[in-house]
Chain A
Amino acid sequence: MKRRKNIGLISICLLLIVSSFVIGSIRGGEFSGADDQIAESVNQVNKDYKPWYKSIWKPPSAEIESLLFAIQAAMGAGFIGYYIGIKKNAKDNTGPFKD
Chain B
Amino acid sequence: MKKKYISLLSLMLIISLGSNVYAMHIAEGFLPKMWCGFYFIISMPFVIIGLKQIRIKTKTNKDIKMLIGLVAAYCFVLSAMKIPSVTGSCSHPTGTGLAAIVFGPFVASVVSSVVLLFQALLLAHGGITTLGANLFSMGIAGPIVSYLIYIGFKNKNKKKAIFFSAMLGDLTTYMVTSIQLAVAFPSITGGVITSFIKFASIFAITQLPLAIVEGILTLIIFEFLESHSGKELKDLSEVR
Interface residues in chain A, defined as those with a beta carbon under 8 Å from any beta carbon in chain B: 2, 6, 9-10, 12-13, 15-17, 19-21, 23-25, 27-33, 35-42, 45-46, 49, 51-59, 65, 68-70, 72-73, 75-80, 83-84, 86-88, 90-91
Contacts and interface: CB of A to CB of B under 8 A. Distances in A.
B89 A80 contact: no
Interface residues of B, number: 75
A21 B81 CA distance: 14
A88 to B, nearest CB: 7
Interface string B105-130: 00000000000001111111111110
Which of B2, B26, B33, B83 has most A Cβ within 10 Å? Answer: B83
B76 interface: yes
Given A37-B22, A37-B23, A29 B185 contact: no
Interface of B: 2, 6, 10, 13-14, 17, 20-30, 32-33, 66, 69-70, 72-91, 118-129, 181, 185-188, 195, 198-199, 202, 209, 212-213, 216-217, 219-221, 223-224, 228-229
B119 to A, nearest CB: 8
A81 B213 CA distance: 20
Nearest to B202: A41
Contacts of B216: 9-10, 12-13
A57 B81 contact: no
Contacts of A84: 224, 228
B6 A16 contact: yes
Nearest to B78: A76
A65 B181 contact: no
Nearest to B66: A83
B213 A35 contact: no
B190 to A, nearest CB: 10
